[in-house]
């Protein structure tokens, strides 16, 4: 492929315009390394035709959500096309999308760490939603647990409201869920509607129902009456990888492999700010540890805060979370350190001090002991993969 001329790339957004900022973030990152690339946005209402393509030379297309309407004419015109986050996969086109099974498993693990014993899932019946549900159920099953599930079909990717009969059916299901249920919702748009319906019907969030969503669309999550916790799926990385795959196709490569990108983290907000352990002491201790682990607290500090014996504290935590208080403090610090390494530009020494380690050497030792890696390797992996 010649690099001395402008490379014209079409971004066909077949649904969910809220994805555009995150997608463009990834494409701009790619564009900084490829200054000859130019991106143009097309909406789902646009139709490529042979006549249009003959008078508007383009080098490739990244089709977001729905490639079915355009795949045929692009293929006949010999224009490479990559599918990004497809609702339904189109045959013979490489796919870059979220690892939906891993998303479901991350949601289940997040709730399990909070001590929940009752679980539910709300989806929309689309293949990607079903994959998230299956990952959620599989991870719960590994712990001998299960979940109640409900699907809300919808007619358009841009319409997330419930028809009256579906709303009634959903509310009937919702009201049957026991108190302290952990609900994973397939997408932020749907979660926004779910939270609003809960509050209209005196279902308290997060106390009666903890709600976790997927996508981490900042506006959708924060405009909700109760700000929604959500799984960050790293859409910028998916967009970057889509551009990489398209470049390979434009260079003449065939059989470009599809890629499934794992979620990065859970962005916690008010909708899940609760601890669900049946034992009040355990819930209070876990809450305290998560609030103070980065302040160099020790088990002795816990014993001063909570009037129990060292043996009772250890026995209770082992019963409910499978480790003692010292291990839980260490695990919480490691989780916070990993979060800062992935999501901040703080120097490694600053990360260590922010997370309660005495110095960088101490943090490196803990990473090697518990995670079999180093802080530098964690940050390097994020730089390499988004």
Tell me how far apart the alpha carbons of residues 239 and 24 are, in angstroms, rounded to a whole number. 8
**Residues 226-235: tens digit of each pLDDT:** 899 999 999 9
- Tell me, what's the pLDDT at 1? 45
Interval 239-297: pLDDT, tens: 999 999 999 999 999 889 999 999 988 998 989 988 777 788 988 898 889 889 999 99
- Give residue 384's pLDDT: 59
Q: What's the mean pLDDT in 3-22?
A: 74
Q: What Rg, from alpha-carbon coordinates, does the chain have?
A: 24
Q: Which domains does the chain have, with CATH numbers?
A: 7-98+235-263 (3.40.50.2300), 100-232+267-272 (3.40.50.2300), 280-385 (1.10.10.60)
- The band of 375, judged by pLDDT with boundaries at 50, 70 and 90, is very high
Average pLDDT of the segment spanning 352-358:
94
Please provide the average confidence, as pLDDT, over all residues in the chain. 89
- Here the tokens at position 196 are 């609003």
pLDDT in tens, 211-226: 999 999 888 898 888 8
Residue 98, pLDDT score: 95
Task: Please identify which residue in the block is written with the tokens 């997330």.
Answer: 160
Max intra-chain CA distance, the chain:
80
> Token pair for residue 160?
């997330």
Give the closest residue to 256 by CA, choosing from 76, 84, 74, 93: 93
Residue 152 has pLDDT above 90, yes or no: no
- pLDDT (tens digit per residue) in 16-34: 666 678 888 899 999 999 9
Comparing 75-84, 108-117, 374-383, the range with the smallest average pLDDT is 374-383
Query: Predicted confidence band at 104 (pLDDT cuts at 50, 70, 90)?
Result: very high
Q: SS3 sequence, the chain?
A: CCCCCCEEEEEEECCCHHHHHHHHHHHHHHHHHCCCEEEEEEECCCCCCHHHHHHCCCCEEEEECCCHHHHHHHHHCCCCEEEECCCCCCCCCCEEEECHHHHHHHHHHHHHHCCCCEEEEEECCCHHHHHHHHHHHHHHHHCCCCCEEEECCCCECCECCCCHHHHHHHHHHHHHCCCCEEEEECCHHHHHHHHHHHHHCCCCCCCCEEEEEECCCHHHHHHCCCCCEEEECCHHHHHHHHHHHHHHHHCCCCCCCCEEECCCEEECCHHHCCCCCCCHHHHHHHHHHHHHHHHCCCHHHHHHHCCCCHHHHHHHHHHHHCCCHHHHHHHHHHHHHHHHHHHCCCCHHHHHHHCCCCCHHHHHHHHHHHHCCCHHHHHHHHHHHC
End-to-end, the C-alpha distance of the chain in Å comes to 26
How far apart, in Å, are the Cα atoms of 341 and each of 109, 352, 355, 383? 21, 10, 11, 10
10 Å CB burial of residue 70 (0-12, 13-18, 19+) is buried
Q: Burial level of 126, CB count in 10 A (0-12/13-18/19+)?
A: middle
Structure tokens at 37: 């690339």
382 vs 57, 109, 341, 351, 375, CA distance in Å?
36, 21, 8, 15, 11
Quick one: tokens of 375? 């802080």
Question: Is 116:182 a contact under the CB 8 Å cutoff?
Answer: yes
State the CB neighbour count (10 A cutoff) for residue 305.
Answer: 13
Range 87-91, long-range pairs (CB < 8 A, 24+ positions): 87/14, 87/15, 87/126, 87/127, 87/128, 87/157, 88/126, 88/127, 89/127, 90/63
Average pLDDT of the segment spanning 163-176: 87
């Amino acid at each position: 492929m010649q690099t001395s001329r402008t490379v014209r790339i079409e971004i066909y957004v077949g649904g969910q315009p809220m994805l555009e900022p995150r997608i463009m973030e990834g494409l701009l990152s790619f564009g900084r390394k490829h200054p000859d690339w130019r991106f143009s946005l097309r909406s789902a209402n646009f139709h490529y035709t042979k006549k249009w393509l003959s008078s508007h030379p383009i080098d490739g297309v990244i089709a977001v959500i729905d490639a079915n309407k355009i795949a045929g004419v692009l293929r006949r015109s010999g224009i490479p096309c990559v599918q990004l986050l497809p609702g339904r996969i189109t045959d013979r086109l490489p796919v870059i999308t979220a690892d939906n099974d891993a998303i479901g498993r991350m949601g289940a693990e997040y709730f399990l760490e909070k001590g929940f014993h009752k679980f539910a899932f709300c989806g929309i019946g689309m293949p990607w939603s079903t994959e998230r549900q299956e990952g959620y159920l599989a991870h719960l099953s590994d712990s001998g647990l299960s979940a109640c599930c409900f699907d809300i079909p919808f007619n358009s990717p841009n319409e997330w409201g419930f028809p009256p009969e579906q709303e009634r059916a959903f509310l009937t299901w919702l009201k049957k869920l026991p108190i302290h249920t952990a609900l994973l919702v397939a997408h932020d748009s749907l979660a926004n509607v779910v939270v609003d319906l809960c509050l209209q019907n005196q279902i308290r969030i997060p106390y009666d129902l903890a709600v976790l969503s997927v996508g981490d669309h900042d506006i959708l999550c924060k405009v909700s009456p109760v700000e929604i916790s959500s799984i960050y799926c790293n859409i910028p990385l998916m967009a970057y990888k889509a551009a990489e795959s398209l470049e390979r196709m434009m260079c003449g490569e065939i059989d470009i492999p599809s890629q499934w990108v794992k979620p990065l983290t859970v962005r916690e907000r008010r909708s899940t700010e609760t601890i669900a352990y049946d034992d009040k002491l355990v819930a209070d201790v876990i809450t305290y540890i998560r609030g103070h682990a980065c302040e160099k607290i020790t088990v002795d500090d816990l014993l001063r805060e909570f009037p129990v014996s060292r043996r009772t504290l250890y026995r209770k935590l082992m019963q409910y979370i499978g480790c003692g208080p010292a291990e839980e403090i260490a695990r919480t610090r490691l989780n916070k350190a990993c979060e800062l390494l992935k999501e901040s530009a703080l120097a490694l020494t600053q990360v260590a001090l922010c997370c309660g380690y005495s110095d960088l050497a101490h943090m490196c030792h803990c990473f090697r002991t518990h995670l079999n890696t180093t802080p530098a390797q964690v940050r390097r992996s994020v730089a390499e993969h988004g």
